[in-house]
Structure 1
Amino acid sequence: MTTTRTNGSLYTHSDNHIATIEFGHPSSNSFPSELLDRLTEAFNRLSEDSSIHVIILKSEGEKAFCAGASFDELVSITNLEEGKKFFSGFANVINAMRKCKQPIIGRIQGKTVGGGVGLASACDYCMATEAASIKLSELTIGIGPFVIEPAVSRKVGLAAFEALAWDASQWKNAYWAKDNGLFTRVFETITELDKEIQLFAEKLASYNPKAIQQMKEVNWKGTDHWNELLIERAAVSGELVLSEFTKEALKKFKK
């Protein structure tokens, strides 16, 4: 079952100390501003819930995990303030994920583009299927993966980030993503993926919550400046999206 709502959908449910956040959008699970805001709020809310020990992040359907930013919304941006505000949505989600007290398991069942790669990188642990190819396509439309770069580079290293960012029209397969540290395990089917994620989440949920929280803080040490850095990067993207190059590229893309 996939959503038909133009602003997308987001559902959270919890069971046995495990919370699952599931987002969806009819355009390959892409993100308009409203959905980004709701995802940020969900992470912030769950972070303060002591009954939750681990979070699973997933998207609807069996095809794309996330197509990144909403192209409809990118096309509609008319000034710097709107542009910065839109890209700040991704900055806010990544900051909420890194500050979240619980570990976040990413369930990547399909193709992942742009901001979706940023979300996967901001997870503490990711499992995927063989269909989960990744791409940073931002340069092809005249912007760049600036907001998500710190999260992606932290996870896969600068060299792998450069391989993705410069070769903006090429997909890297799930095994490339695994070899470079984005995914921990890759499975043939979604059924296998879901089974292993559930088992792993149950293990994590059984550990000492204080130890888990300390582990998360250690792993994200040195990222406190991201509060400012990612918003600065959002302003860069917000300016570029107004350029003639990007406006023309977005028109061609939509056609």
Structure 2
Amino acid sequence: MTFNNLIIEAKNRILYVTINREAKLNALNKETLKEINLAINKARADDGVKGIIITGAGEKAFVAGADISEFSAYNTEEGKKLAKAGHHDVFDLIENCPKPVIAAINGFALGGGLELAMACHIRMASSNAKMGLPEVTLGLIPGYGGTQRLPNLVGKGRAMEMIMSANMITADQALSFGLINQVLETKEELMNAASKLMENIIQKSPNALKSAIKAINASSNPQKNGFEIEIEEFSNCFGTADFKEGVSAFLEKRKPRFH
């Protein structure tokens, strides 16, 4: 499969998805969003892929936002279709991916870029990263889940301040807010750390990881009972080969070999 706006690389059971529009600070246009959808769906269906890392090309930006030129003349109905398509085809798709997804944030993650990072299961950043949701300066609000995911990550008060002020925050501030998990000095260190963490994660039971993602996501979904989802997923694990292998390995004092 050929992509115009993404660089796709598979290594050690990890799929690296690099948004490659460096001249546009990796801004998300319609074609890029469509390609991200295709890449994530392909990764979900590929048994050889156990985890996904998303980053941006170059040193300046993860994703500096949506490509404003594409929707500057939209009306109300077109705006609704834009948001719905983004939610369904990309952002919710990533959040509900049964395989772990890490965002490696290098440089600017603004607007749709920060929303993309927040849809990932884990976020890490280089020290030069700047994050924010500046949509109110355009007469808009975040439309790809920012008003929902940000409060869950940093709390309602912080989210109100970030969205209404449109101010950017540094990587260190994002770490202190709980928006990201780690700060690394350079992009190279960031990618090495993201790869190391993912390599650790994908050694675990794929079935258990899938269940954990589903149960944790339910905790922030008011339409679902997270405790009931946890009970259901916990019980389902008992019927899997992964459970039998994990218990056998524990009793035999060896590392489990999950397939």
TM above 0.5: yes
Runs of 4+ in 1 over 4 A off after TM superposition: none
Is 1:82 paired with 2:96? no
Structure 2 spans left out of the alignment, 5+ residues: 225-259
Letter in 2 for 1:14: A
C-alpha displacement of 1:44: 2.1
Which of residues 95, 100, 118 is equivalent to 1:98?
95
Tell me, yes or no, if structure 1 residue 217 matches structure 2 residue 214: yes
CA pair 85-24 structure 1, distance change in 2 beyond 3 A? farther
Higher relative contact order (CA 8 A, sep 6+): 1
Q: State the secondary structure of the residue aligned to 1:151.
A: helix
Whole-angstrom CA distance in 2 between matches of 1:11 and 1:158:
36
Deviation of the 1:122 alpha carbon: 1.0
**The one of 158, 161, 174 aligned to 2:159:** 161
Q: Deviations over 1:150-192 (max 9, x none)?
A: 1222222222211210111x22111111111111010111121
Residue ranges of structure 1 left out of the alignment (5+ in a row): 1-6, 227-255
Deviations 1:101-131 (A, max 9, x none): 1010110011111111111111111110111
Give the aligned CA root-mean-square deviation in angstroms. 2.0
- For the pair 1:143 / 2:140, whether they are aligned, the reply is yes
Partner of 2:117: 120
1:183 and 2:180 matched: yes
Show CA shifts across 1:193-221 (max 9, x none): 12211211111121111111111111111
Q: Percent identity?
A: 28
Q: How does 1:1-255 map to 2 (within 5 A)?
A: 9-25=5-21, 26-77=23-74, 79-92=75-88, 93-148=90-145, 149-168=147-166, 170-222=167-219, 223=221
Name the count of aligned residue pairs: 218
SS in 1 for 2:69: helix
Higher deviation after alignment, 108-117 or 19-28? 19-28
Q: Which residue of 1 aligns with 2:238?
A: none
- Secondary structure of the structure 1 residue equivalent to 2:162: helix
Q: Are the equivalent residues in 2 in contact too, given 1:66–1:116 (CA < 8 A)?
A: yes
Q: Name the CA distance, whole Å, in 1 between partners of 2:112 and 2:142.
A: 8
The aligned amino acid for 1:21 is V
Moved more, 193-202 or 216-225: 216-225
Answer yes or no: is the 8 Å Cα contact 1:109–1:128 preserved in 2. Answer: yes
Question: 1:130, 1:189 within 8 Å by CA — same for their partners in 2?
Answer: yes
The aligned amino acid for 1:147 is Y
